[in-house]
Structures are given as C-alpha cells and as structure tokens.
Structure 1
Amino acid sequence: MLIPTLYQHAQEDSSNSSAEALPELFRKDAPLKVRLQYSNKSLKRDTNDSTYLQSMIWFSDGELWDSLPADLRARGNFRRKTCYFAPLKIRIKRSKSSSTPFQGSEKLKMVLPCQLDRNTGDYVLREYLAYKIFERLAPFHFKTRLAEVTLIEDKGRREVTHEFYGFLIEDMDHLCKRYEGQEVKRLIHPLQQDDLASAQNDLFEFMIANTDFSTTQQHNQKLLFVKKRIIPLPYDFDMSGLVNAPYAAVTNIQNLEGSITQVTDRIYKGYERDTALLQNVRRDFLQKRPEILSELEALETYFQDPLQYREAYEFLESFFSILEDEKKFERQVLNRLRSR
C-alpha cells in the first residue's frame, strides 16, 4: 500500500541520524547548566550577522564545571527590538571544543526568555516543548537541549545576575551532516516539497497554532535535500498559540481566507495533498498522542506557574479533539487545502 510504504521510507531515511552521528550535547535530556557574562546592551547594539562579542561560556553536564571561549551575537530582528534578552548565536572554535559536550556542535542557537517577568521562563519551556513534539512526529528535525542559564549582565560598573531556563538548538550545518543531506537555499514551491514531510509539517504548525511561517517564502522554515527528497524543517515557534507569549501576534506572512483574531486560534496553511496521505498523518498524530503529552509531562516540574502548564496541556488536548472528530477535521483541515 502507498501510505505505509511512505512511512517506512521516512523511517529508513531518518536512520541516517544514528546515535554515533548525534553530537554529545544532544544525547542527554537533563538540562545543561550554563553560565554567560556579557553586556546585554552591547550585544543588541554592536553585533550583527558578521560581528560577534568575544566572551566565555561556562558549563556543567554533571558536577564539574568547565569553560570555553565563545563568540556571541544577537539574532532575530523582532526579539532584538522587542525583548529585554535577545536570543543568541554562539560560535566555539573546533580546536577548543574537543572532549567537551560542545564537540561537534561548534555553532548553536540559544533561546532565552524575552522579558524579566517572574514566569517568563515558562514561555521558553513551551517553545522548547514545540521542538520536542515535532521530534516525536517527524523523522527529520532540529535537536534541542534544555539549559539552566545563569546570565551575569554587565551594566556599567554593576553586575546583575539573572537565572532562567533557555535551550540550545543545533545549527543547520550540523543537521545536514547528521542526516547526510544538504541545505537548499533557494525557494522551492511547497508542492515540489516532499508530500509526507509537508503534511507532517503543516499539521504540526496547525497543532501549535503557528501562523508565523511560510513554506513558500521559507520564513521560519529550512529545506533539507536528502535521498532526492526536499524536506521542510520548521523552527522558531514563539509566536504560536502553544507558547502564547505576551508579545505574540497573528502574522500575515501569507494571506489566508478566513480570519483569526488571536494567536491561540488555529488556521490550516497547508497545500493540497492526497486525502489518504493526510488521513494517515492524522491517524499517526493520534497514535502518538501519549508520546506528545509525555513530552509536556516531563517538563512539569520546571514550570514556575502551574497554570502555564495546565494551559499548555489543555491547548494540546483541544487539537486532539479536532483530530478525533471527522467533521471538525474535514472543516478545519481538508476543506482548507491551498492550491496556490
């Protein structure tokens, strides 16, 4: 049969990402302890795609602490302007990373909380959860690692210490090496992208109620070419309804028929695919419901506000209620497939 064959093919392809190919940093689930020190003001003002601050990163993957020189820069135009803490791009020299958890992961992204609010770290946990969910749903995905971050902020003659959760994301170059593929840097129309991977990607974005992406313009999407297939890879989920950050807003990256007024509203943005394929992806998501909820349950002890945890749980459950209902799935997904 066509559909099981497609799923078997995807699982065989994902076997390229063996435990041996996975950098040590991403082989553990326990949070990595990280200490950073820099001027937040300088980071946002003085760094860009090619200009970095020279700094250090202190880390502990057990009881002992170690350190490495690291180059840091701010990333993300929106968060740089809107947030107190900008997310980071981290570079570590390969010659310095040997025999450390960063060996094989010399380029990384780090997601930090946006503001100084007491429960701001809970939004980071919810975005981290989105990555972990997609890891359960699709064979091709970015690896992440939760981090307990201590940031010593240089403010003139003072030092201010902040403690919160963040997480690390593998670089696209590392992902390509892991899957023995290569990045496609030109625009490829979604209907030329792999059907199964596209359906998984689109239904996942619907699950987390994310509108801040475009498979047409490759906004918050990367493309991986592996075994003659073009695979979309989603990232950056802070604008999604699952995260429901205070600054999040519905985006107009693609014009959509039907209006939504808040980020927790779901609207399907996927293109036309074979109905049997979409139904099979739907069943696969439902079968993986316990695994998906287990990813959230594993984070429960890290949440500062129990209401944030409960909100995330109920939000995921509301998605599965759509999948379980034939009429809702037809109305909200099958009847909304895009041809252009």
Structure 2
Amino acid sequence: MFGVRGFIAGFFLTALAAFPASAQHPLFSDDAEVQIVLEAPLNTLIRNADRSTDAVPAVATITAPGAQAERFDIQLSPRGFSRRTGGICTFPPLRLDFDATRGTSMRGQNRLKLVTRCRNGANYEQLTVLEYTAYRLYNEITPLSFRVRPVRVTYRDTEGRRREETQFNFLVEDLDDVARRNNEMAALEVLSNEVRSSQLHTETAAVYGLFQYMIGNLDWDMVSGHAGDECCHNSKLVGATAESRENVIPIPYDFDYSGFVNAPYAIPPEGLGVANVRTRYYRGLCRHNEQVPAAAERIRARRSALYAVIDGEPRLNANNRRNARRYLDEFFAILDDPQRVQRQIIDRCRR
C-alpha cells in the first residue's frame, strides 16, 4: 500500500495547498500561558448551568506575557451539553462575550469558548492538559484546525459564596478566524444533514477520520448531529463561501471523550461493541477509502512533530506523557503495517 510514498505524499500536499494558511490572530499565534482573572456571580452561574445558558455580567482582567493587564467587561455564560447537563462536571465549560476590544490585545475577538476543568483535583487538571494537547496534535497535521491558547484562570465569585480558585484552562479559536486564515474561507451555518458526506472535501475528510482514529475518538460526526441542531456533532464546517455545498471542510473539536484523554466519564457510543474509549475503532467513511493512504502518509510524515508536541507540553505529568506516547506508538504500529491498515481501517469504514 505504501510502496509509492513519494507520489502519495505529493498528491496529498498538492490537495492541501488548495487551502493555504494565512496570518492568524495574535491571540492564537503563541502558546505561552495567558493569565486571566474572571470576576462574576459564579455561584449563581454554576448552580443554574445544568438548566440554563443565560449569561451573567463579568469582568475579565487579561495579562499576556510581557504585556500590561487589560480589563474587559464581558458576558459570561455556560455552554456545551454533556459536561454541563449530564451530571458529569461540577464546573461547566464557559463562553466569553466581549463588549469592546478595539485597540487592545483582544481586538477582533468577540466571542470565545473557554475549556475549563470539569472537577477539582490534579487528575482532572491533567485531563484538560491532555485535551489541549489533542488540539495541538491536529494543528501539527493540518492548518484546517482550531488553534488553542493555554490560560491560567483565577475565578472570583462576586457573590462571596465560592472560594477563589485557579485552573489551567484553554481558549479555542473562533470558527470564523479558522476559516479566514485558511485562504479566506467562510463558516457554514447549516443544520444537521444539510450537507451530505458526498459534498465533503475528500482528502481533508480522510485526514479528519484518521486523526480521530489516532486519538481513539468515537464522539463525532462530519455531517450529522441531533435533529434540528446546528451541524455537526463535535464538528464545524467551512467552505469557499458561506453557501458552499462542494469541497466542504469538516473541522473537529471536543476531544474529552477520546481514548487519548481517557476521562473517567467517557464511554463509547452504544452499538459499536467497543469495551472502552481506549480501544480504537475506525469510523471514517468508506467513500474516503481511496484517500486513506495519502492521509496516512501525511500523518506518518508528521510523526516526529506529533511526539514533540507531547514531549514539549510542560504541564503533562510523567505518567500521562508516557501513556500518551504509548497510545501514539500503538497507532503508528498500525500505520506501519499495510495488512493492519487494510484490516483495521479500510475494511472497517462506515457506510
């Protein structure tokens, strides 16, 4: 399968060149930690998060490395679904809506997702670091991915009901910024199944599916979600224009249910016969099978860079770093064996 690696790699890189990366927003051009102090009625927000995503007024004081602190009036709201409503987390993921950012380090950033620590304790902090690392791994494979920025957030409850706490969190790039820095593309605002799998850009969809297999993630779909909801399940779509219905690019997010993160609350979807999330199960689409060899070669070519992401993440403890490397070792052992690629990837594709 991989005897013509040079040809395959050239083919894939030519396809990828159709989506060159442009300049990205300064917030996501660096990976140094940003310090944030959030002051808000946190007790009320957290107590109501399982049944309400209503925003509360808050103040965010943001200090980038080597810069002066800047104060912003924002609206702070819970977001997400499983972590917020499923009885999983005691602290919800958050959304930050900025009122005014012109002339500041946050210029152009109006609405940002903040990935928080699900529960108290060092183990849950490590899960946040692992999910952050998963985003960084996909960044190494393709620019058609969400950038992330590490932040150290101090939470102060203005109601005086919660003890001050500081967490490692990370911000996720806005979809419009992802689209703009990739050849001035546009985000698609579509409902579940409004875009068909036949309308996806085949090379990037194959990379998407193989990446999800690499990190052992089953909690996604490139075109579907809950009926009537915005597309798609843990994916967003971009295209040449907001009306595009060909060569549509799926971009994944939310990796906490992956085997790479291995959160204690993560369980495989029903009906797949998978015992736990650490067990890889390929869910890429059969229509992209012809592109799998090129996608595999693209990832193989980035092998050293992927391990460097894990080795270079200072917040990972030694045990989780070792487990993360071993999990990638198992993936590359499959890619290095054409028979296993055929048996465990190609033959298991989703129709």
**Partner residue of 1:308?**
320
**Partner residue of 2:304?**
290
8 Å contact from structure 1 (residues 105, 170) kept in 2: no
Find the aligned partners of 2:13 and 2:345 in 1 and give their Cα distance: 21
**Partner residue of 1:141?**
145
Q: Give the stretch that moved more between structures: 96-105 or 207-216.
A: 96-105
Find the aligned partners of 2:259 and 2:91 in 1 and give their Cα distance: 21
**Partner residue of 1:195?**
202
8 Å contact from structure 1 (residues 121, 165) kept in 2: yes
**Partner residue of 1:150?**
154
Instruction: Write the letter of the residue equivalent to 1:140.
Output: L
1:53 to 45, 56, 63: 56
8 Å contact from structure 2 (residues 45, 78) kept in 1: yes
Find the aligned partners of 2:76 and 2:165 in 1 and give their Cα distance: 18
| CA apart distance, 1:288 | 0.5
| CA apart distance, 1:191 | 2.8
Q: What's the RMSD between the two structures over aligned residues?
A: 2.1
Find the aligned partners of 2:157 and 2:122 in 1 and give their Cα distance: 17
8 Å contact from structure 1 (residues 24, 103) kept in 2: no
**Partner residue of 1:24?**
26
| CA apart distance, 1:49 | 7.9
| CA apart distance, 1:276 | 4.6
| CA apart distance, 1:46 | 4.7
**Partner residue of 2:3?**
none
1:4 to 6, 10, 13: 10
8 Å contact from structure 1 (residues 37, 151) kept in 2: yes
**Partner residue of 1:336?**
348
Structure 1 residues 267-278: aligned runs within 5 Å: 267-273=281-287, 275-278=289-292
Find the aligned partners of 1:165 and 1:99 in 2 and give their Cα distance: 27
**Partner residue of 2:267?**
249
Find the aligned partners of 2:143 and 2:298 in 1 and give their Cα distance: 13
Would you identify which runs of 4 or more consecutive aligned residues in structure 1 move more than 6 Å? 47-50
The count of aligned residue pairs is 326
Find the aligned partners of 2:16 and 2:52 in 1 and give their Cα distance: 34
Instruction: Write the letter of the residue equivalent to 1:243.
Output: V
Find the aligned partners of 1:77 and 1:319 in 2 and give their Cα distance: 30
**Partner residue of 1:211?**
218
Taking every aligned residue pair, what percent have the same amino acid on both sides? 27
**Partner residue of 2:38?**
36
**Partner residue of 1:107?**
111
Find the aligned partners of 1:175 and 1:39 in 2 and give their Cα distance: 32
Instruction: Write the letter of the residue equivalent to 1:265.
Output: T
| CA apart distance, 1:209 | 0.6
Structure 1 residues 70-109: aligned runs within 5 Å: 70-81=74-85, 82-93=88-99, 96-109=100-113
| CA apart distance, 1:51 | 2.8
| CA apart distance, 1:201 | 0.3
| CA apart distance, 1:205 | 0.5
Q: Does 1:230 align with 2:248?
A: yes
SS in 2 for 1:302: coil
In the TM superposition, what whole-angstrom CA distance separates every residue of 1:196-235 from its partner, at most 9, and x where no partner exists? 0110000000011111111241210111112752001100
| CA apart distance, 1:5 | 4.1
Instruction: Write the letter of the residue equivalent to 1:97.
Output: T
Q: Give the stretch that moved more between structures: 68-77 or 219-228.
A: 219-228
TM-score between the two structures when normalised by the length of structure 2:
0.86
| CA apart distance, 1:3 | 6.9
TM-score between the two structures when normalised by the length of structure 1:
0.89
8 Å contact from structure 1 (residues 108, 168) kept in 2: yes
In the TM superposition, what whole-angstrom CA distance separates every residue of 1:262-320 from its partner, at most 9, and x where no partner exists? 01111001111455521121111111100111111111x212x3212211121111111
| CA apart distance, 1:118 | 2.3
Find the aligned partners of 1:204 and 1:9 in 2 and give their Cα distance: 17
8 Å contact from structure 2 (residues 43, 162) kept in 1: no
The alpha-carbon distance between structure 1 residues 51 and 157, as it changes in their structure 2 partners (threshold 3 A), is closer
SS in 2 for 1:119: helix
2:333 to 321, 326, 331: 321
In the TM superposition, what whole-angstrom CA distance separates every residue of 1:154-173 from its partner, at most 9, and x where no partner exists? 5x544512222110001223
| CA apart distance, 1:101 | 2.3
The alpha-carbon distance between structure 1 residues 3 and 285, as it changes in their structure 2 partners (threshold 3 A), is closer
Instruction: Write the letter of the residue equivalent to 1:37.
Output: E
8 Å contact from structure 2 (residues 22, 180) kept in 1: no
8 Å contact from structure 1 (residues 23, 102) kept in 2: no
Structure 2 unmatched ranges of 5 or more:
1-6, 225-231
Structure 1 unmatched ranges of 5 or more:
none
